[in-house]
Copies of this chain bind each other. A is one copy, B any other.
Amino acid sequence: MEIAFEKAGGLVPAIVQDFATGDVLMLGFMNSAALAETQRTGEVVFFSRSRNKLWKKGETSGHVLKVRELRIDCDADAILARVDAAGPGVCHEGYRSCFFRKFDSNGEVRVTEEKTFEPEQVYGAEKRAGEKR
């Protein structure tokens, strides 16, 4: 089964789900090389659109995503990685999941989760505002 990388300019969305809890942790993108590296190493590697290169999740923070299983959807244009997530959270803002904001009934967005770590202590001086690691 060929993955349909060409359909979205070489990149397919890759959902990361906690294997144990089922929580959706984040969404990244993979190109063919990122998928190959993920399979080779057993840890999630994305392609960073902002940095235009492969991005091993956890390379700075140590919060790597160990792959328990990799799934592909019916059209072969989306990946689901079910993982064991090292560390207290995947989000560069200090939360367990990047989906820590919810739309309320008025369509306003509100933070509904608790912080699980302090980004400054994890990413240190290297951290630049808004940049995922």
Known contacts A1-B109, A109-B1; is-contact A101 B71 (Cβ 8 Å):
yes
Tallying the copies of this chain within the complex gives: 2
When chains A and B are docked, how far (Å) is the Cα of A103 from the Cα of B78? 13
Q: Which residue of B lies closest to A78 (CB)?
A: B27
Question: Which of the residues B39, B71, B92, B99 comes within 8 Å of A107, measured between beta carbons?
Answer: B39
Interface residues, chain A, with chain B CB atoms under 8 Å away: 1, 7, 13, 15, 17, 21-24, 26-27, 39, 49, 69-75, 78, 80, 91-93, 95, 98-103, 107, 109, 130, 132
When chains A and B are docked, how far (Å) is the Cα of A80 from the Cα of B97? 11
Question: Which of the residues B1, B22, B39 comes within 8 Å of A101, measured between beta carbons?
Answer: B1
Question: Which of the residues B13, B24, B73, B101 comes within 8 Å of A17, measured between beta carbons?
Answer: B24
Q: Which residue of B lies closest to A18 (CB)?
A: B22
Question: Which of the residues B1, B71, B92, B99 comes within 8 Å of A71, measured between beta carbons?
Answer: B99
